Structure 1
């Protein structure tokens, strides 16, 4: 009976790499998890409806004007609206009421369009902290207010809560039917402060808490 070769020594386990403080610092500098996070910015609204309305108005006006100009070049009479408009612009003084009203409407429309172009919009969406540079997240203000309301209702002595969530301020009004109002307010402030931090917002709003007794019946 033959026997095989004796088994060799077991292979030694691979050494476990040890991350030193210098390696951690280098990872932070290279964009690791400890690198500074980019600030959360507001989301920009698409604004399809104003853009579509403006494009339709411009397209319709330009098309009608080009059609009338082409008709005049083809030795046809100009449309009545363009003739009356040209005559009115040539004869009316600048201080005429119709001219002033038209200029005011044009200025208001231009200011409105500039505000739409320069402001982000989407006021109902609160930007959240960016854990990764390529990922953006937002939280609806109503959902944030509902989460804070649920946290506030867990406080002992709270009967009802109303939360108004803004971009810079969270206003909480609670009704307490027992316990001291100062104690309830203190508990609400601590609970809601932790709740706002757990929402993960890029710019946590300032918290204001008001506690009152329920109205007396009769």
Structure 2
């Protein structure tokens, strides 16, 4: 079970796997039905989810507790996608499994025993997490607004901070900008040359046929 303190620490909820599953599926269905995730779930969505869970499991959850528990799964989702980048790791898209052969698995787990549950076995509720937090993978960035619920606007883990080399300086941005323009122009030149060559080849063949 997972205990979450409510607002002000006055209450807390005990979560079972079945309750977590129900919550994630409920919220994933909201997203699939068109609810936007870029601005997070509104209080009305969280409260509705709490009522649905309460009715199903005879519990007394609040929308704030749903929000807190969702953050727990958000952190798991962030960790899963970080572990997918472990050296030699593969990804079974159909079954949501991070794969490692015995040699790499044994070497990695020797130093990271807490990550054992994330390798070579189906990741529970990854499909629902992907639906809810998918924009996390697209941006790789997290805002620091503590009022937000979803991956693009909430938690930034220590590991993610370590992978970031720091904010770009003005010089960095200027250099990146100046470097990208010639590349784009060069790509366009290559594409134009290719089209011209293709048209010329077709013209030659037609001339030969005549």
Q: Do Structure 1 and Structure 2 share a fold, with TM-score over 0.5?
A: no
TM-score by length of 2: 0.23
TM-score by length of 1: 0.22
Higher share of residues assigned strand:
1
Higher share of residues assigned helix:
2
Higher CA-based Rg: 1
